[in-house]
Amino acid sequence: MRDGDNKDKGSFDFSFGNLCTHIPDAIFPVFGGCVAFGTILAASTAAQKVIGVSTATNIVPSLLGFATVCAASLVSEQTAILTHELKRDPRKRNLGYIKHKLSKTSTVIIESTSQLRGGKNHQFKLPMHEVRVCLLGLLAFKSLGGRFWAISPSSFTHLGSFARWSIPCTENYANPKQRFMIEKMGRKWGCHTCGSHMFFSSAKSAATGKTFRFAGDHMPPKSVAKHMNDTWLRRVGLLPKVKFRFYPQCVSCSNVQGSILSKAGSNLGGLSSKLRASSMKEAGGGRAACFHGFRPRINHLTGGLLAATTTLGARDEEIANGNPKRLERWQTQIENVIRRFQ
């Protein structure tokens, strides 16, 4: 759309002057795919927080994470196609066309789901292109270090979504050597609860006067472990005593965890040791869990990889259909390689 041309109501201009002509066409779809993938993951994290799912929940986070990655993969592919069309054809740069495209995409997904369930004729038919997109997204997500359960909100009283490395410890506070290792892990991997690397903030130790960014978070928390060790199975030696590991945790999350455990500990009443341990462990999850949906991760590049697969080096008509022939060709090549080793 040229400068000075009349624009219809509801339209908006994607033009960035001559800059766009110097940027490869694939840049915009790849960026759109990354944003779409991260957005779907953030929406899933928010929804799980609302319904009370966190990293402390059994099995459910992994199942929801698997489904989320599949959905994010499909949305990333469709976003790449739409972005490519808007970049190539100025006439489509209006809200009306975008709404029409999104509506059409939703219809395709619903029809594919209907086919997957059997449809009106009760015939089981897999939408193979969508299956290939999902499988490619799952493979890319795992290759980039993604973990399905880690999409869920982080419980403050359980392993967080960003937990990677840890060191063994006792119930005592971290010694200087351990504190050095905790700082090193924290700066590389971030707080295991919220993912922050604490680049612009730190705290000062009252005991040593030294500044630090991360505290050594006992996992399980000491107050939880205390009630776990009070159960009769561990008291009589049928189960081993709880062992601790230090995970790096930022000062902010450490303070929140302390507040949650303190409040939960005062409401235990006459519960048994087993129920007390369970109550303390679950206190930091559910709706009290840490939302980290807007924390970027390297596995968000999955959407960009899917977008590049769809658009890079492809013709416009191929891109418009999601480039199914390319994925089918890759599948055939993989099957041929597998047959050679059989």
* Residue 171 sits in the same domain as residue 116: no
Structural domain including 51 reads 24-153+296-340
Residue 16 forms beta bridges with which residues?
18
pTM of structure: 0.81
CB 301 within 8 A of CB 41: no
Q: What's the pLDDT at 266? A: 80
18 found inside a domain: no
Q: Which residue among 251, 267, 288 closes a domain?
A: 288
Residues 64 and 118 in one domain: yes
Q: In what helix (H) or strand (E) does residue 166 lie, and over which residues does it extend?
A: none
Query: What pLDDT was estimated at residue 239?
Result: 86
For residue 6, tell me if it sits in a domain.
Answer: no
Angle between helices 128-143 and 302-311 (to 10 degrees): 130
Total domain count, the chain: 2
Burial per residue of 63-90, b for 16 or more beta-carbon CB atoms within 10 angstroms, e otherwise = ebbbebbbbbbbbbbbbbbbbbbbbeee
Residue ranges of the chain whose pLDDT lies below 50: 1-22, 116-117, 122-124, 206-207
The whole-number pLDDT of residue 18 equals 44
